Amino acid sequence: MVIPVMDGASAERREHERFPLQVAIEAIHGDSTLSFTSEDLSVGGAKIVGEGSLPVGEEVDVSLALPGQPAPLAAKAEVRWSRGGAVGLRFGRVAQAALAAFFASVVGLSGATASANAAAVPTFDPNANTELVAEGGERPDEFVLLGAFERQRAQMDRCVDEAKAGDDVTLQGTATMEVLLNPAGHRPLGINGKVSDDAPKDTGLMECLRVATASAPYPGYDGPPVIVEFDFEIDAGYEIED
């Protein structure tokens, strides 16, 4: 059975692909507004250098002047480290959603976050601070979400068949797909995948399942990005009825 869960339950912390992208970033600390420039930028955070330092462990308000965007992205960020004139930031969930969409549409993702034969599907950090500042308080309908995910089961079965490579075996274990929903609907802002300890650790299978999950017709809604989880048996097999 597939069960969507909207509690943002944590999974292990994940790394994000970093891009050597220089953008202007302003951070508000107390009564001061400090100017920085990113040395690298990812969905999860940034390494910045500039005119001052920020206290490690504190949450600050930042704005990022992303190229091609009509207005700076306002976000919450946690100061993770500060050394040698540089500062490390970890962005909150709303910023991660916006940055995932930005990189997917403008820069493009590759490497560990992309399938070799499909459009890039970004991951996200489910443990990031949640700061839901988007307009609207609506949440997507769980029944509609479940139906959208179930429409991908045939594609997921093909992923499993490819992983078995014709062998007459049943793959053990369960999988969980964490989906960071896009309020605009359809393509989500990020997909994380994990499997149970007894499941095969096949990266090709996982990427195939992530792509299938990202292709579901998710509904739009008037609210902030939220995380839903879908749990399922990797290889459910077939039952023959009399």
Boundaries of every domain in the chain: 24-107, 111-233
CATH superfamily for 24-107 is predicted glycosyltransferase like domains (2.40.10.220)
pLDDT in tens, 80-102: 999 888 999 998 877 877 787 77
The enclosing H or E element of 194 equals strand 190-195
Contact 232, 194 (CB under 8 A): no
Among 85-94, 116-125, 166-175, the range scoring the smallest mean pLDDT is 116-125
Percent of the chain at pLDDT above 70? 79
User: Could you check whether 24-107 and 111-233 share the same CATH topology?
Assistant: no
What is the Cα–Cα distance from 78 to 60, expressed in whole angstroms? 6
Q: Which tokens in the block code for residue 97?
A: 């959603």
Domain 111-233 has CATH 3.10.150: no
- Would the pTM count as exceeding 0.75? no
Residue pLDDT, tens place only, 211-221: 889 888 999 88
Contacts of 36 (CB under 8 A, 6+ apart): 24, 25, 26, 27, 48, 49, 50, 51, 87
Q: 104: pLDDT confidence band, cut at 50, 70 and 90?
A: low
